[in-house]
Amino acid sequence: MNAPLTTSSFTSQADVPALHFQQASFTHRGHALLVPTTLTLSGCQRTLIMGPNGAGKSLFMRLAHGLLRPSSGHVSWEGAPPVQAMVFQRPVLLRRSVIDNLIYALAVKRVPRRERKALAWQALEKFGLAALAKRPARVLSGGEQQRLTLARAWLLTPSVLFLDEPTSALDPAAIKAVEDAVNEFHQSGTRIVMTTHDLHQAKRLADDVLFMYGGQVLEHTSAERFFDTPTSSQARAFIRGELVW
């Protein structure tokens, strides 16, 4: 990332509302994919959600973001719902140029037309994409596409940013660029909720860890405590790099 971009419209860390799961569950075709879960995500933390495949991490994210509704119980924000953005493992981009993807996001946000192009260029410069502005977004490399989705999220000035395995298919340089962006969002007052399989990444980024297994949240604690003294046998095995089924 390169040039600075104003963050005056980002929320202050004190203003990020708490997210409450109150006996929230999710069932699909008779299978309980998330058992009744009660927890609160509060403050401007960087929460990393971890666990083996099929643990329910992505499902938890979609319930938190509001893309899915729980089968029972409630998922709710304390007070008015905040501005949210979500970055998926596979970037969702329009069949337009790189800059037009950003201009469209600003149009949806109802930014005045006369301001959109300048703001889009600022975001491109910030995320190192200015040289690719006129290129079709869908021909970019995986790392470039992910930076574009982060640039688009930045323009939304979210209070909460959800990221679902955003670096799983990227090379080390692209991973670093995404992690740098995540940290800059956080420093600007955005609450981070992110899934990852990468223990080293979680150690670099996490303030707290939510560990899932079999559709259950087995642990939700500080990153330091989770990595030093996990309480569940599944988390201990996961940290040792063993296969957890």
pLDDT of residue 154: 92
C-beta of residue 141 within 8 angstroms of C-beta of residue 135: no
| 31-41 and 19-28 strand pairing | antiparallel
Q: What gap in Å lies between CA 158 and CA 44, rounded to an integer?
A: 12
pLDDT of residue 7: 39
* Domain positions in the chain: 17-238
- The mean per-residue pLDDT over the stretch 53-71 comes to 94
CATH domain 17-238 topology: Rossmann fold (3.40.50)
- Tally of residues, the chain: 245
Q: What gap in Å lies between CA 20 and CA 78, rounded to an integer?
A: 7
As a whole-number percent, the residues of the chain with pLDDT over 70 amount to 93
pLDDT of residue 30: 87
Nearby residues of 29 by Cβ (< 8 Å), 6 or more positions away: none
pLDDT tens-place string over residues 102-154:
999 999 889 999 999 999 999 999 888 999 999 999 988 888 898 899 999 99
Q: What gap in Å lies between CA 12 and CA 209, rounded to an integer?
A: 23
C-beta of residue 52 within 8 angstroms of C-beta of residue 244: yes
pLDDT tens-place string over residues 3-50:
444 434 555 555 788 999 999 999 998 899 999 999 999 989 999 999
